[in-house]
Amino acid sequence: MKVKVIPVLEDNYMYLLIEERSRDAVAVDAAVPKRLLDIVRREAVELRALLTTHHHWDHARGNEELARLCPGLRVFGADERIGGLTHPVTHGQELFGSIRVRCLRTPGHTSGHVCYFAWEDESPDAPALFSGDALLVGGCGRLCEGSAEQMLSSLTGVLPALPRDTKVFCGHECTVRNLKFALKVEPDNEAAKQKLAWAKVSGSAGARAAPRLPPHGPCRVRSHFGKYEKKDLKV
């Protein structure tokens, strides 16, 4: 499974999952159709489906145009407000074939938010979590609709059950400001200090810090509205 990381808009990420034998592809949070289709053509793949984490425009606004340009395109999501939705999903539902995808309901940022856990059987590659605005590097999305209790359950109940080697591909680049906030809450947190230094170096090199993993261990999850702890997540 090959994952193409596609920075778009001010700080968003789209992703393209490619099954390298069939050259079939699935996109996550397709907000900018032209940019996505340029990469689809460059990679010489066939776009088969869209996975949408939630209904906000910066994650879903490209769905309807892509459905028009790519007849037969399937659009998956857990919220009826998602544009172009053709296949509503439920928690635990599994999709596709050689690239397997499990849908994980993670309310908090929105009431209908879902993350997608993807892997290939008998592959040496680590599995991947496409976490949208539920889990970011050093934090999580704002509470736009859900409750703090729902977000806490998503972050400390649903996501930590995934394998420890899971790579997290989040929906936004908020790494530096999330970690600066973490250090205001816990100024002596050495893990946050190390990760902030790593994120600043990544940014100064002209690259976004997410979704690449830092060279040290897990960090605590932080949000804009409070703090949560789960040391089993590599983010």
Q: State the catalytic residue, choosing from 24, 79, 113, 172.
A: 172
Q: State the catalytic residue, choosing from 29, 58, 79, 113.
A: 58
Q: Which of 46, 89, 94, 51 is nearest to 71 (CA)?
A: 46
113 is catalytic: no
58 is catalytic: yes
Q: State the catalytic residue, choosing from 24, 54, 55, 113.
A: 54
Q: State the catalytic residue, choosing from 29, 55, 109, 113.
A: 109
133 is catalytic: yes
Residues in the chain: 235
Q: State the catalytic residue, choosing from 29, 59, 79, 113.
A: 59
Distance CA 214, CA 195 (A): 7
**Contact in structure between 24 and 45 (CB atoms under 8 Å):** yes
Q: State the catalytic residue, choosing from 55, 56, 79, 113.
A: 56
Catalytic residue positions, numbered: 54, 56, 58-59, 109, 133, 172
